[in-house]
A and B are shown apart, each in its own frame.
Chain A
Amino acid sequence: MEAGVLRQNIEALLFAAGEPLPVETLLAALSLSGPLERAAVEAALESLALEFPAGGERGIELVRLAGGWAFRTNPLCRTAVSALFELPEDSSRLSAAAMECLSIVAYLQPVTRPQIAEVRGVNSDSPMRTLVDRELITEVGRSQSGGGAVLYGTTPRFEAIFGLAGLEDLPPLEGFALGEEQKDELRRRLGLLATPD
Chain B
Amino acid sequence: MRPLELDLDVYQGPFDLLLSLVLKEEIDLLEVPLFEVIAAYLDEMEDAGVVGYWDEMTEFLLLMSLLLEVKSRLLLPKPPAGFEEELTPEEARDQLLARLFEYSKFKAAALGLREMGETNAGCLMRAPASQKRRRVAPLEDIVGTEDAMSLREKLAYLVENRRPPDTSHLALIKVELQRQIRIVRGMLARHRRFSFNRVFGSEPPLVQALSVFALLDLLSRGEVRVAQRELFGDIVVTAGDVGKTA
Which positions in A face B, CB cutoff 8 Å? 15-19, 28, 61, 70-75, 78, 81-82, 85, 87-92, 94-97, 99-100, 102-104, 106-107, 117-123, 138, 140-141, 153, 155-156, 161-164, 171, 173-174, 176-178, 182-183, 185-187, 189-192
Contacts and interface: CB of A to CB of B under 8 A. Distances in A.
B9 interface: yes
Contacts of A71: 125-126
Nearest to A163: B120
Nearest to B152: A138
B179 interface: no
B74 to A, nearest CB: 4
Contacts, number: 192
B101 A183 contact: yes
Interface stretch (B24-32, B184-192, B196-204, B223-231): B24-32
A87 to B, nearest CB: 6
A78 B118 CA distance: 11
A19 B102 CA distance: 36
B99 A155 contact: no
Contacts of B93: 190, 192
Contacts of A182: 23
A70 B30 CA distance: 55
Interface stretch (B108-116, B209-217, B238-246): B108-116
B113 A162 contact: yes
Given A18-B129, A85-B124, A122-B13, A177 B107 contact: no
A74 B123 contact: yes
A87 B124 contact: yes
B97 interface: yes
Interface stretch (B37-45, B55-63, B80-88, B169-177): B55-63
B110 A140 contact: no
28 contacts: A16-B130, A18-B126, A71-B125, A72-B123, A81-B124, A87-B123, A88-B123, A88-B125, A92-B121, A95-B9, A97-B12, A99-B111, A99-B113, A99-B114, A106-B109, A107-B109, A119-B102, A119-B103, A121-B103, A122-B12, A140-B148, A153-B149, A162-B117, A174-B105, A177-B105, A177-B108, A178-B101, A189-B23
A99 B102 contact: no
Nearest to A123: B55
Contact of B101 (A72, A118, A164, A177): A177
B109 to A, nearest CB: 4
Given A88-B125, A191-B30, 13 more contacts: A72-B126, A87-B123, A90-B117, A92-B121, A100-B107, A107-B109, A121-B63, A122-B15, A122-B55, A176-B104, A177-B101, A189-B28, A191-B28
B56 A72 contact: no
Contact of A162 (B55, B120, B124): B120
